[in-house]
Amino acid sequence: MQKFFDDTPSGSSIIAREDVLLPLYQPDELRYRGNELQVMADAVKPLLRKRECMNLLIHGKSGTGKTSCAKAIMKQLSEHSPVVLPVYANCWESPTRAAVFGRIIEAMQLPVPRRGLAADELFDRVLQYVKNYSRPVLLVLDELDGLEEQELLYSVARANERPGILFGITGITNNPAFLAKLDPRVRSSLRFSELRFSEYSEEQLFWILKDRATAGLAPGTWDEKLLTKIARGVDDGSARIALEKLWKAARHAEDLARPKITLQDLADSEAENEAAVRPGVALSETESKIVEHLRNGSRTTDELYDLLKSGKTKRMFMNYLARLEEKKIIQMDAQPETEASGRFGPKLCRLCPKL
């Protein structure tokens, strides 16, 4: 039988710390986000004095540091004082009231019966904990578009009206129009202040890349010309995309046993990535069908769902669309239902120009 692993390198000659090059890595210093971090810290500081804080809605394009900044604030808050309990939930992973309340229960280290509890029962336990321990909760809801039940936001916001109960909410979304589509009751109860994260400039991306390359790659295996090329090739100012390009170029160079990452490694790894997301090659069956429908013209998310749902929930289908958008195969834009109402209906989907 053919030996598949005999040519596997015994160790990494270029990548010293792969975790540093990956999106989930949390650096000690977040470059160019000092102002945003200060706004976020100022918003939650009243919780330390057991006073109502300012609820924040953070929005900006993918890769602009929203989640990293929120997690940095949560970490500092925990290290500074045990008074406040910070809880993080990604709404694509925890889309319902019960799922989010379950995340809070986990952070509180409260037992839950094997049979599970209904959402209202979970929330009652959360409220009882906050009241008994006089411990405010900072709830950070990432990917807020994935939340299926706006009632959660309303319930948490109105809970502050009860004696001894104190919550703060920080929401994170890529959609600048998210606030407009919230139910007016929810919007009124939350009184969100908005904080926009702008895209990184080419120079800023260069220095972010340099920080990660210095920490994650072996000395002498990269140069500034490579980092400049990567920074110039990122159109939407996304640090996530820039770092992914660096990581894939480094992996490509290692696979070829090069002593250093070259511009050719960058070009080849980008070409391989383009091939991987080409319709019909590395897409799931549902993703390929979505692309084929969009080749005939733009469609709304509701139209696509009606065509392709076939036993899938709306949330599952939106996950397919989100993955295609992340791969830069499709674009989704919020569409106003009427010019006068300011409310937003289903998103309009279309193929990216390169396809």
Kindly state whether residues 315 and 340 are assigned to the same domain.
yes
User: In whole angstroms, what is the distance from residue 274 CA to residue 268 CA?
Assistant: 10
| Percentage, residues of the chain above pLDDT 70 | 88
SS3 57: strand
* pLDDT (mean) for 259-267: 95
In this prediction, residue 8 has a pLDDT band, given cuts at 50, 70 and 90, of low
Look at 292 and 311; give whichever has higher pLDDT. Answer: 292
Look at 220 and 278; give whichever has higher pLDDT. Answer: 220
Given 197, 232, 261, the domain boundary residue is 197
Does residue 110 sit within a domain? yes
DSSP character at residue 347? P
Kindly state whether residues 53 and 129 are assigned to the same domain.
yes
pTM value is: 0.78
Q: How many domains does the chain have?
A: 3
Look at 299 and 339; give whichever has higher pLDDT. Answer: 299
User: In whole angstroms, what is the distance from residue 180 CA to residue 81 CA?
Assistant: 35
Which of 44-58, 266-280, 301-315 bottoms out in mean pLDDT, i.e. has the lowest?
266-280
Q: What is the pLDDT of residues 279-298, one digit of tens each?
A: 444 567 778 788 888 876 77
Does residue 214 sit within a domain? yes
Does residue 26 sit within a domain? no
User: 1 pLDDT exceeds 80?
Assistant: no
Residue 281's pLDDT is 40
Kindly state whether residues 321 and 265 are assigned to the same domain.
no
CATH number, domain at 182? 3.40.50.300
Does residue 342 sit within a domain? yes
Q: At what angle do helices 202-216 and 239-255 cross, to 10 degrees?
A: 40
User: 341 pLDDT exceeds 50?
Assistant: no
Given 197, 212, 240, the domain boundary residue is 197
Structural domain for 251, as ranges: 201-276
In angstroms, the Cα distances linking 132 to 84, 103, 117, 206 are 14, 19, 20, 49
Kindly state whether residues 159 and 58 are assigned to the same domain.
yes
CATH number, domain at 320? 1.10.10.10
User: 340 pLDDT exceeds 60?
Assistant: no
